Amino acid sequence: MHTDHDMIIVGGGMVGASLACALADQGMRVAVVEAVPLRADSQPSYDERGIALSQGSARILQSLGLWDLISDKAPIKQIHVSDQGHMGVTRMDSRREGVEALGYVVIARTLGQALARRLEQLPSLELICPARVVGLHCSPEGANVRLEQEGKVRELSASLIVVADGGQSSSREQLGIASQVWEYDQSAVIANVSPQNDHQGVAFERFTRSGPLAMLPMTPEPDTGRPRCSLVWTRRNDEVEQTMALGPTEFLDKLEQTFGLRLGRLTRVGERHVYPLRLIRAREQVRARLAVIGNAAHTLHPLAGQGFNLGLRDVAVLAEVLVDGRGRGEDLGDENLLQRYAQWRKPDHNRVIAFTDGMVRLFSNPLAPVALARNLGLVGLDLLPPARSWLARQAMGLGGRLPRPARGLAL
């Protein structure tokens, strides 16, 4: 079957661009369709947010030739988990786990710059952006994408279409793929914050009455050298407008009341953004000639920073399955081949979704017996090394089966 491309990736954010790096580097004819210019200064995924990367994700990015291109990497040496108003605390330490770091925090913009530089080095890759997808068709006989670019309509064919255009995926809707949606009645307020004291590589996850609050270590401010952290503050939807209306000083005062003075006074806050929080799960992740990955397949609560890491493992496994399948002479769009990907990923998806959703619901329950039980649980985790190590491995993204090296793809 003659096609314009082996694969068309719809969506050039962090997940879609990572998959393009994985497969174009294997000589596949890959096209990436993105609605905005694929540059770090214009792609909305590539802003100043801190992105938590697990140990497993760092290994995947290393195999894609991206890790050394990322200039800002702050190691997470420890993770401190607490529950506001209660004594229970759990601490995870990289030294106890025998690793250099439990994970890393990178700035989304610098990750975007690394992806853009890597994509420019791949001769078998076609970047089609800005362009708008106006039609998608997948069947056992073939796959087509119709797109609009600079006022002209263009149609492309491929053996496989990969949908990676985010949680509000228009491609998923065009294909008639239903999704399960659970609303948390919460939103995340995201900003960069400068504390008085150095964070020393400690990431804080604090459960509050409104939801979890994360303070992640970042590299110092480039202009002043002062320490800074990435804040992900979950607020109830009825609190968001008031929180965003606060001036910088009032906002930091309110944040200190919730987070405490573990890092001293909070001295500066950057631009704030709000993201509504919900759990979205596509009911179908593969069809003949179609795969849905990343946030388009599963959008999570940001608790424990699992979302992008889960999407990056989608990239690693899909790349592994496709490279292995091509080596066996299989059709990249064959549904049986894609079902191997889906079955491989299902346990990891189920485990991470159950963990994040369960923790959000557990720590949002105000009943006194539940609060007592979860705090005893935090104390128990801190006192029982095997249980604490298990939790640390989940945080490091090492709890599931990772791809094996096959046919030159060292993931």
Cβ atoms of residues 298 and 281 within 8 Å: yes
CA atoms within 13 A on the CB side of 405: 5
pLDDT digits (tens, 9 = 90+) for 70-96: 988 999 999 888 877 666 678 888 888
Cβ atoms of residues 306 and 394 within 8 Å: no
pLDDT at 116 over 70: yes
Q: 286 pLDDT band (50/70/90 cuts)?
A: very high
Q: 289 pLDDT band (50/70/90 cuts)?
A: very high
Give the pLDDT mean for 168-189: 93
pLDDT digits (tens, 9 = 90+) for 31-57: 999 988 765 444 444 457 889 998 889
Domains present along the chain, CATH in parentheses:
5-45+108-181+278-378 (3.50.50.60), 184-276 (3.30.9.10)
What integer pLDDT is reported at residue 407 of this predicted model? 41
Helical ranges in 85-167 per DSSP H: 94-97, 108-120
Mean pLDDT of the chain: 85
pLDDT at 411 over 50: no
Q: 30 pLDDT band (50/70/90 cuts)?
A: very high
Pairing of strands 179-195, 229-236: antiparallel
Q: How far apart are CA 172 and CA 178, in angstroms?
A: 8
Which pair of structure tokens corresponds to residue 134?
């106006």
What integer pLDDT is reported at residue 389 of this predicted model? 57
What integer pLDDT is reported at residue 105 of this predicted model? 94
Residue for token digits 């923790």?
359
pLDDT at 284 over 70: yes
Query: What angle do the packed helices 307-327 and 55-63 form, to 10 degrees?
Result: 40
pLDDT digits (tens, 9 = 90+) for 213-232: 999 999 998 888 899 999 99
Q: How far apart are CA 72 and CA 110, in angstroms?
A: 7
Q: How far apart are CA 17 and CA 25, in angstroms?
A: 12
What integer pLDDT is reported at residue 355 of this predicted model? 79
Output DSSP code: residue 218: -
Which pair of structure tokens corresponds to residue 258?
């919730």
pLDDT at 409 over 90: no
Cβ atoms of residues 174 and 136 within 8 Å: yes
Which pair of structure tokens corresponds to residue 213?
């609050």
**Spatial CA neighbour of 179 closest among 294, 285, 307:** 285
